[in-house]
């Protein structure tokens, strides 16, 4: 037992290496990103590594696309998917990880979203999953969340694999975060054919995850989808949506801290951090505003809004409400799995945040519409500095 615990701790605490999320993309997508964006010289070696891994992966990726994907495309989704939405750092990861403990839930894994067309052919999967497992850190630097190739992961990393509509390109090219929001979330000036291709790729990814897991219901956690409700409803008219919200002050401070720690190993160009922080706040106002406008399109019985505080304080009661409201089966069967996960993660500690008074005033002014909608006030534990 002690040896097992030691091995688990060693795995969790291993440093590892993160690479930009384009290693498993189509070669033409990768080359287009390199060609169209200004890359800082300090990251040239990182680009070379990306290209080399991509070239090694090419035959495996091609085989899956030619001989496996067409067969999966013909399958049908038995159940409408579930979409967990909400701004980053609002509790989407925790809720997703928790609900994925239910044996009937299918989801994309970390390995699958990095190599979306190299996980159903056995040799390619063996090679690149072993490679990913070797490199992946035991924890995320931004919040110490445990990482693993088989853990649930958001689909956005994979949606730009073949079609250039992926908001997470910004991790590599942070100076374009605002432009990418308009193009990849709002789909501004995007040709209908390209958008249809994105929808087909997204649906295929879901089908592949379901096929491999042999499970029934696909459950998504993808924060960019918070601003894409119109398109998702066109794809899945009967989809269920769980929107998790959190105090905007805590969300923005947590997002700034998370990006500050997570961006360095993923970026291919430099950016002034103050500028990025300003843009992060602007993205918050955009995506929450888009959500509030679009959520009216969702039939009342298909949308449930929940608070992060309830997830944190009474997770089992919140899960029971979700299952009851959406009439999901087998809650009692899933409950022991939920409790095990909750017990395992009950000692998780959140980061402590500090803020200047002037910055807090600016944040309140810009996020006031969300604070008013969900009746939030300034967190009592927040440390505010006058300087």
CB of 85 closer than 8 Å to CB of 223: yes
Query: What's the mean pLDDT when you consider all of the chain?
Result: 91
CB of 244 closer than 8 Å to CB of 312: no
Residue 132: predicted pLDDT: 85
Asked whether the CA dihedral 274, 277, 279, 282 is positive or negative, the reply is negative
Kindly report, residue by residue over 360-369, the tens digit of the pLDDT. Answer: 888 889 999 9
User: Tokens 């030619």 belong to which residue?
Assistant: 66
- How sure is the predictor about 8, in pLDDT bands with cuts at 50, 70 and 90? very low
CB of 242 closer than 8 Å to CB of 259: no
Tell me the sheet residues that pair with 241. Answer: 83, 303
- How sure is the predictor about 7, in pLDDT bands with cuts at 50, 70 and 90? very low
- How sure is the predictor about 353, in pLDDT bands with cuts at 50, 70 and 90? low
**Would the pLDDT of 10 be above 60?**
no
Kindly report, residue by residue over 14-24, the tens digit of the pLDDT. Answer: 556 778 889 99
Instruction: Tell me whether strands 217-221 and 354-356 are parallel, antiparallel or unpaired.
Output: unpaired
**Would the pLDDT of 170 be above 70?**
yes
User: What CA–CA distance (Å, rounded) separates 208 from 318?
Assistant: 30
Residue 17: predicted pLDDT: 73
- How sure is the predictor about 352, in pLDDT bands with cuts at 50, 70 and 90? low
Radius of gyration of the chain measured on its C-alpha atoms: 21
User: What CA–CA distance (Å, rounded) separates 375 from 312?
Assistant: 18
User: What CA–CA distance (Å, rounded) separates 209 from 224?
Assistant: 20
Q: Helix %, strand %, coil % for the chain, to 5?
A: 60, 10, 30
Domain 2-352: CATH superfamily is: P-loop containing nucleotide triphosphate hydrolases (3.40.50.300)
Q: Residues 95-124: what's their mean pLDDT?
A: 96
| φ/ψ of residue 378, rounded to 5 | -65, 130
CA distances, 13 to each of 16, 177, 345 (Å): 9, 31, 16
Q: Residues 293-322: what's their mean pLDDT?
A: 97
DSSP string of 116-145, one letter each residue? TTSSSSHHHHHHHHHHHHHHS-SB-TTT--
The percent of residues in the chain predicted with pLDDT above 70, rounded, is 91
* Least confident range of 178-187, 217-226, 253-262: 253-262
Domain boundaries of the chain, sorted by first residue = 2-352
Query: For the whole model, what pTM was predicted?
Result: 0.92
**Would the pLDDT of 36 be above 90?**
yes
Residue 11: predicted pLDDT: 53
In terms of Cα–Cα distance, which of 72, 111, 59, 291 is closest to 200? 72
User: What CA–CA distance (Å, rounded) separates 65 from 24?
Assistant: 13
């Amino acid at each position: 037992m002690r040896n097992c615990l030691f091995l688990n701790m060693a795995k969790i605490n291993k440093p590892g290496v993160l690479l930009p999320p384009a290693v498993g993309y189509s070669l033409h997508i990768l080359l287009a990103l390199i060609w169209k964006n200004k890359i800082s010289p300090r990251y040239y070696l990182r680009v070379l590594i990306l290209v080399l891994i991509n070239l090694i992966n090419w035959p495996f990726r091609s085989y899956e696309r030619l001989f496996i994907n067409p067969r999966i495309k013909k399958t049908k989704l038995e159940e409408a998917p579930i979409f967990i939405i909400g701004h980053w750092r609002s509790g989407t990861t925790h809720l997703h990880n928790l609900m994925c403990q239910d044996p009937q839930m299918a989801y994309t894994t970390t390995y699958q979203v990095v190599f979306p067309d190299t996980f159903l052919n056995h040799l390619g999967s063996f090679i690149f999953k072993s490679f990913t497992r070797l490199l992946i850190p035991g924890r995320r630097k931004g919040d110490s969340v445990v990482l693993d190739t088989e853990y649930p992961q958001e689909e956005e990393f994979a949606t730009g694999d073949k079609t250039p509509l992926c908001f997470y390109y910004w991790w590599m090219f942070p100076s374009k975060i605002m432009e990418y929001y308009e193009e990849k979330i709002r789909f501004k000036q995007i040709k209908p054919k390209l958008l249809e291709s994105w929808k087909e790729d997204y649906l295929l990814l879901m089908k592949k995850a379901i096929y491999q897991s042999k499970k029934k219901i696909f459950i998504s956690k993808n924060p960019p989808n918070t601003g894409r409700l119109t398109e998702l409803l066109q794809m899945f008219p009967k989809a269920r949506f769980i929107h998790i919200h959190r105090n905007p002050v805590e969300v923005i401070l947590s997002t700034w801290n998370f990006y500050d720690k997570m961006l360095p190993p993923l970026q291919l160009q430099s950016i002034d951090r103050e500028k990025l922080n300003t843009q992060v706040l602007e993205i918050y106002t955009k995506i929450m505003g888009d959500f509030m406008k679009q959520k009216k399109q969702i039939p009342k019985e298909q949308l449930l809004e929940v608070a992060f505080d309830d997830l944190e304080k009474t997770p089992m009661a919140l899960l029971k409400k979700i299952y009851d409201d959406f009439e999901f089966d087998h809650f009692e069967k899933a409950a022991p799995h939920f409790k095990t996960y909750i017990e395992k993660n009950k000692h998780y500690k959140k980061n402590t945040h500090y803020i200047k008074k002037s910055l807090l005033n600016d944040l309140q002014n810009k996020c006031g519409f969300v604070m008013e909608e969900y009746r939030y006030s300034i967190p009592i534990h927040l440390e505010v500095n006058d300087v």
